[in-house]
Amino acid sequence: MTLSEIWEAIESGITVYWSNEAYKIHPIKSNGSKYAKETEKNGMALRCTCTRNYFGSLLAKKEFSKCFIKKETGK
């Protein structure tokens, strides 16, 4: 995904994952660091957090390609 696709999905209430469904991308208040700058928008930056242990870090540009939206399956 591109940065704009990630932000668009998040702003639309769609969950964005990284690598697998245990890692979710979410906005946090930017601290202005060089690591936050890659994903900053309106004072927010994107963080990747593990839902199992809450470990995470700011999302890096090189990691955008591993982001995805879970495809809904028909029932």
CB contact set of 17 (below 8 Å; sequence gap of 6+): 23, 24, 25, 67, 68, 69, 70
- For the question of whether the overall pTM of this predicted structure is more than 0.95, the answer is no
Tokens 């704009």: give the residue.
Answer: 4
pLDDT of 73 higher than 90: no
For 6-61, how does the pLDDT look when each residue is reduced to its tens digit (9 = 90+)?
999 999 999 999 999 999 999 999 999 999 999 999 999 999 999 999 999 999 99
* Sole residue written with tokens 């994107």: 46
